[in-house]
Structures are given as C-alpha cells and as structure tokens.
Amino acid sequence: MLKFFKFAEHKTNLKTELIAGFTTFAAMSYILVVNPMLLGNAGMDPQAVMMATAIAAAVGCFLMAFMANYPIALAPGMGTNAYFAFIIVLGMGIPWQGALSLTFWNGLIFVALSASGLRKQIINAVPKGLQVGIQAGIGFFIALLGLKAAGLVEASPATIITHGDFTDPIVLLGLGGLFAICALTVWRIPGAIIISMLALAIGGLFVLNPASPEGSSQMLTTLPENFFALPSGLGETFLQLDWFYPFTNLESLQVLFVLLILDLFDSVGTIIGLSRRANLLDANDELPRANRALSADAFATICGAMLGTSTTTSYVESAAGIEAGGRTGFTSVVVGVCFLIALFFYPLIAAIPSLATAPALIFVGLLMGEGLRHVPYEEYTERVTAILTAITIPLFFSVTHGIAIGFLLYIFLRVTSGKAKQLHWMTYAIGAIFLLFYIME
C-alpha cells in the first residue's frame, strides 16, 4: 500500500493520510443530509438517494485514489443537485428518471472529452469572467433556496421579496445556524457545516414543528427508535434512469449541454486549484495525470447516475484534508470508507430536520459567489457579462437562460467593439448553440 500510493515520494505517512481523510470527510459529510432532501423535492425516495449518495461518493473517491493517486474526494455536487431538483425536474417538468439519464450521458461525453483535446478547447472558449459568473450565479441560486427554506426571505406582492418573521423560532434557528457555520469557518474548525447541522438538530428537540397538526406537541427533531440501521430502497433509484431520454426528447439537449458546461468548469477548476494547494503541479504549472483525474471524475458521474443521484464531482472541501497533510490517493480511500460506514447511521442522519440544511445551502452558495473576486474587472466586457450572468441565474430561476444571456452579450460586445477576431471559434459555436435553443423555444 505504501509503495502503491508512493508515500515516500510525497513525503507523507499513514497517520497523516488517515487524519487528512477524516478531516476531509468531516468537511463534506453534510452532503449525506442535504442531497436526499434536495432530490426528495424532485420526487425521489430520500432513503434511496441517501444510499446512492454514499455509494457514489465512495466509488468516486476510490476512482480518484486508484486512477490518479490524488487526495481529492468526490460526492454528488452542490449546485448541480439544486439545478437537478428545482430547475430540471420541478421547473422544466422533466421526470427525475429523465434527469438521471441526462446526468449519465453528461458523464459519458465528459469521458470522451477528457480523452481528446476538445475539453481544453471548450474551457479556453469560455471567458474567465463568464466562468466565474456562472459559478457565482449558481451559488446565489443555492443561497436563495437556503434563505427561503430558513424562512429568512418570503414573497411579497408589494416588494417582490421581503424578509421573514424574526420572531419566529424557526427563522431564528436558521439564522443562528448560518452564523455558527461562518464563525466556525473563521476559527478554521473542520466540519463547520455538519457541526452546525447537528447543533440545529439538537435545538430542534425543543422547538415545535410548525408542520405538525394543530394541538400536536411534535418537535422539529424527533429521535429515532434505533440509532443504527442501513437505509433501504436503493432499488427505487438504481438503474431507474430513462436511458435514451435525451434522444427521444430533443428539447432536453439544452439541459445536457448546460450540465456538461457546469461539470467541465467545476471539475477542472476544483482539481487544478486543489492540486496547486497541495503543490502537486509540475515545473510547467500543469497537473500530472490530469486526464486520469478528470476521467475518474467523469466515471464517478456515470456511476452516480446509475445509482440514482445527480452529478458526482470533486469537492473543494478536500482542501481541509490537504491542509491536514494529505498528499496521496490514500486520503481519498479513507474518505470513501467513511461514506460507506456512515450508511449504518442512517436513522440519526434522517432525524436531522430539513431546516438544518438551509444554513448549509446559504453558506455553500456564498462560497461559490466568492469567485467573483477573480473577474478581470479592468476589462468592461468581462465584468459586465460576469455580473449579469451571476444576477440572472437566480432571478430567472434558470441556469440555462442565465448562461445564454451572458454568452450572447459577451459575443455581441466583442464583435461590436471590433474584437471579433480575438474570439475562439468554439466561443462562436457555443453562442450559436444557445441562440438555436432560443429559436427552438
């Protein structure tokens, strides 16, 4: 094992890798609570999704460990899971079986792109400002969902949107959870999100559930009869995807295209960023075995879709394990094993109320929005398209339309300012695809 993962070459040891793995798991384990709740909104069985989430995460971690030997953990991604549930299924009316099929084909195409030069061309074709704007826009979209779930914002006929009732214990719990996550993050305590969730779950033992029948004394959190048991019902989602949905419903191809764009930027950006943090880049500032790492990411998405979950991707929370000294794929193996062990604690995980996930959504959304600081603000075209994309995604409640508006505006400004020749041919191709989607609508 020591020889396979090259501990000596990476100047690490078993103890350090174990600690790094536990640290990364603590930082990202919240997905076991959040993902079933989000995809449950799409009509999927929460128990089945929880099992699919844990197994997909474990498979992804093992693939990254044995294919690329990097300390990068994978799990169903935040952002794409919200896009899956609230836009693809609830917004566009695509059945979740069809959405899983779109995720599956996205993974297959990603594998093909990773084995060719097209992947790099597509990434180079999307301007830096747009890349950041897309990520931030999805972050703000997730944050909006979290604010709504916590009762911190609500619809208003007078002002479109307004704040919630700050005398409501539910709202105060949600706000307290958000403050707790931020404070723990500032104090550099690993697992800030899951700690906050557990604290809210405990607080929920003393707060009445507003959804309970009148006169009932049911609390927000109800302790399970058994603390240890495996979730059931994986058969509800395993291999339940509508395999050829994109080809029998051509209008869904725009969703497949957006999933691919999101997966490319998210995976490449996260893997390169984490590798730089771990000093794994070579003398040319390039990542050795990059294609293996990206292929592992893509194969994880394929496996995740077959199990019954949204896009599986590399997690930026892997940085916590890297900070703890993780340098090899053994860190990822430890994370994968932890996800499998977590399955036995399903009753405790299921007891965490949905309110506890709201601060996590807000916080993760804010983290994704931080990317706006990387926009080349000195260039007007870059900054205006980045900001417009970031704003329109949550306001349109559509990732597709937000990206399309940003792309078309960028091309329009470049062409009208006499800089048409500076654009990559792939940029025009992507713009034409989005324009075609509008015409088809």
Q: Tens of pLDDT along 40-92?
A: 989 999 999 999 999 999 999 999 999 989 899 999 988 889 889 988 999 88
The residues, any chain, with a CB within 8 Å of residue 423's CB and separated by 6 or more, are 411, 414, 415
Q: Tell me the β-bridge partners of 339.
A: none
Residue 1 lies in a domain: no
- Predicted local confidence at residue 11, as pLDDT: 80
- Decide: 389 and 130 in contact? Cβ < 8 Å: yes
Contact 418, 116 (CB under 8 A): no
What's the pLDDT score for residue 215?
Answer: 58
At 289 the pLDDT is 79
In degrees rounded to 5, what are phi and psi of residue 155? -70, 150
Q: Considering the domain boundaries, does residue 4 fall inside one?
A: no
Alpha-helix runs per DSSP H in 154-219: 169-186, 192-203
Angle (CA) 295-307-320 rounded to 5° is: 55
At position 432, the amino acid (one-letter code) is: A
Q: How far is it, in rounded angstroms, from Cα 114 to Cα 112?
A: 5
In a domain, 411, yes or no: yes
Give, for all 441 residues of the chain, the pLDDT tens digit: 667 887 777 788 888 889 889 988 988 888 998 899 999 989 999 999 999 999 999 999 999 999 989 899 999 988 889 889 988 999 889 999 999 999 999 999 988 887 776 777 777 777 888 888 888 888 898 899 889 888 898 888 888 888 888 888 888 999 999 999 999 989 988 888 889 988 988 888 887 777 666 656 677 777 777 888 888 878 889 899 999 999 999 888 888 988 988 888 778 777 777 777 777 777 666 677 777 888 898 999 999 999 999 999 988 888 888 888 888 889 999 999 999 999 999 888 888 888 888 898 898 889 888 888 888 888 888 899 999 999 998 998 888 888 889 989 999 999 998 888 888 888 888 888 888 877 766
Q: For residues 390 and 365, what is the distance between their CA atoms, to the nearest angstrom?
A: 12
Report pLDDT for 270.
79
**pLDDT value at residue 352:** 85
How many domains does the chain contain in total?
1
Residue 163, beta-bridge partner list: 153
Residue 144 burial class via C-beta count within 10 angstroms: exposed 0-12, middle 13-18, buried 19 and up? buried
C-alpha angle 400/56/76, rounded to 5°? 30
pLDDT at 306: 96
Q: What is the pTM of this model?
A: 0.85
User: Is 74 inside any structural domain?
Assistant: yes
Please give the Cα distance from 103 to 233 (Å, whole number).
21
**Residue 5 falls inside a structural domain:** no
Identify the pLDDT of residue 212.
64
Establish if 2 belongs to a structural domain: no
User: Which residue type occupies 368?
Assistant: M
Report if residue 371 sits inside a domain.
Answer: yes
- Domain range for 388 is 14-440
Tokens 């794929």 sit on residue: 329
Decide if 409 is inside a domain: yes
